[in-house]
Structure 1
């Protein structure tokens, strides 16, 4: 074990909402960036942070859609995580404005999409969920305030695959779920290494929630998986509402209880245990410091960006 992966008795749980987690926390004067903060869990995160007093910036691939969704509770700017030129453009605009960041939540992502290539032929889930956020965070490092937190939204889906070092971009056969798993493992390893560089970072599993993240899954497949019935109703009792699903990332971004626990993976508003069997928790390969350093080096090579 390479991080302090033990429950701390947070007082919250799977059914806690983002507003409950933020009760008593005043974010007035703080600035938060939430990628994908205009849909699903991201939108609930944006709303909760704004209600707590934070200024929230939402970088969005679909700017008009984002502006309609967030209204006057957040600022919207353009960002396509699958396009490194777009990532650079957003970061340069933000840095040029001289603004400072207290919370960066890398929430945007895609799941189990058909085989798609972006940039120089990169597998889209790894490129969007990990490499885009890697480049964005590195470019924004100069704007991070002392004590700022970076929160990487991963998933229990990381248990589907470690990093496939011999075929990261699935050039020898594509499996959408393995690709998703690898990308989510990358999100965790990213937080481990960023924290090692001195930027307080966390990763997390938000829980099972029916959101637009499932846009690439046909209804028939979701029925076959046992997630929904033929009428689209959720069948798994542990599924959360979006308000509950947003709570763990908000908790990771603000909880004083985590002040000395950077680098940990969280779930249900709690630090997760390490689990290499069927129990909930984080796989040991996803918090391995050697794996984290190796992934950082590869990501810096691919993106051409490294703040450290």
Structure 2
């Protein structure tokens, strides 16, 4: 069985930073891959893992931009990767596997949010293709390296946005229903959580455990497709235009936003556990309502739906 969606009392909280949760953790000699690791919370995730001694591979569509962003962070390797291009994913994974490395940490942090309608070359809706299918394909391609590690964690950065919508299994690509950018985003973030649940069920016999998480509400480049009016509707900035920081209400700095990803990837408190959605550096409860919206919606923690998504994803992502 997967870990119950019940907090374990980690001792951390909403204000914890990535540096806090990795303090005392030694990752020397270990390799981590962080998609989206050159911007926003992904960059802070890369920084924290590096400071703990890991070699961090950051795959990016624009390697030169990623090199500039990670300049000065020790042990970072930049590689080319476009998540919506199956050939790019396969080529990246083949290069990694050819080096014979084990992969104890894979953090799927790259993503897009509330974009205009777009599609990949196969016709899949772009948020679903980027946030879920690309990472599904990447994990599939890197599987031998995850197994080689004998104890690996795959961490998928979801969002409280999953509460907007579950996965529409009859029309995931908006070919029949009208496109709504927030419904599409919510679907992709639910898919992140369900993917972790199904992956954990398959991986734990090989020592591979999977987690998903809500990092917090952080005003980063992820919001580049939103208008100023849309951002203001989230009450995310003060009167001077500065992003608000109120961790207990979910509004965090990038360093705080990276904390739960790093905690899921490294904490010994999670040894023997897996398949759960986390937030504020702890296992989250099932969301039953409430102003702060903390927790995971039942549709994103349902093993039957996780299996249904896995089957669909194999059909859509794996030739």
Bin of the TM-score, shorter chain as denominator length? over 0.9
Partner of 2:201: 196
Partner of 2:284: 272
- The alignment status of 1:286 with 2:300, answered yes or no, reads yes
Partner of 2:174: 170
CA contact (8 A) 2:114 2:181 kept: yes
- The alignment status of 1:213 with 2:192, answered yes or no, reads no
Give deviations 1:56-99, integer Å, cap 9, x for gaps.
00000111100111125310000011111111111111111211
Give deviations 1:144-179, integer Å, cap 9, x for gaps.
111110001000100000001121011221100110
Of the three residues 102, 105, 111, the one matched with 2:104 is 102
Q: How far apart, in 1, do the equivalents of 2:3 and 2:125 lie?
A: 29
- Counterparts of 1:250-261 in structure 2 under 5 Å? 250-261=262-273
CA contact (8 A) 2:156 2:211 kept: yes
Partner of 2:316: 302
TM-score (norm: length of structure 2): 0.93
- The alignment status of 1:75 with 2:77, answered yes or no, reads yes
Q: How far apart, in 1, do the equivalents of 2:120 and 2:169 lie?
A: 19
CA contact (8 A) 1:103 1:149 kept: yes
Q: State the shift of 1:236 in Å.
A: 6.4
Q: State the shift of 1:221 in Å.
A: 1.5
Q: How far apart, in 2, do the equivalents of 1:241 and 1:234 lie?
A: 9
**Size of the alignment, in residue pairs?**
305
Q: State the shift of 1:219 in Å.
A: 1.5
CA contact (8 A) 1:3 1:287 kept: no
Q: How far apart, in 2, do the equivalents of 1:268 and 1:54 lie?
A: 23
Partner of 2:137: 135
Q: How far apart, in 2, do the equivalents of 1:211 and 1:100 lie?
A: 32
- The alignment status of 1:185 with 2:187, answered yes or no, reads no
Q: State the shift of 1:285 in Å.
A: 1.0
**SS state of the match for residue 104, structure 2?**
strand
Q: How far apart, in 2, do the equivalents of 1:2 and 1:142 lie?
A: 22
Partner of 2:39: 39
**RMSD of Structure 2 on Structure 1 (CA):** 1.4
**SS state of the match for residue 100, structure 1?**
coil
Q: 181-190 vs 114-123, which deviates more? A: 114-123
CA contact (8 A) 1:151 1:191 kept: yes
Q: How far apart, in 2, do the equivalents of 1:148 and 1:63 lie?
A: 26
Q: State the shift of 1:3 in Å.
A: 4.0
Give deviations 1:95-126, integer Å, cap 9, x for gaps.
11211111000000000011111121110000
TM-score (norm: length of structure 1): 0.96
Decide whether aligned partners of structure 1 residues 164 and 236 sit closer, same or farther in structure 2, where only a CA change above 3 A counts: farther
Q: How far apart, in 1, do the equivalents of 2:245 and 2:180 lie?
A: 24
**SS state of the match for residue 151, structure 2?**
strand
Partner of 1:16: 16
CA contact (8 A) 1:223 1:230 kept: no
Gaps of 5+ in 2: none
Gaps of 5+ in 1: none
Q: State the shift of 1:230 in Å.
A: 6.1
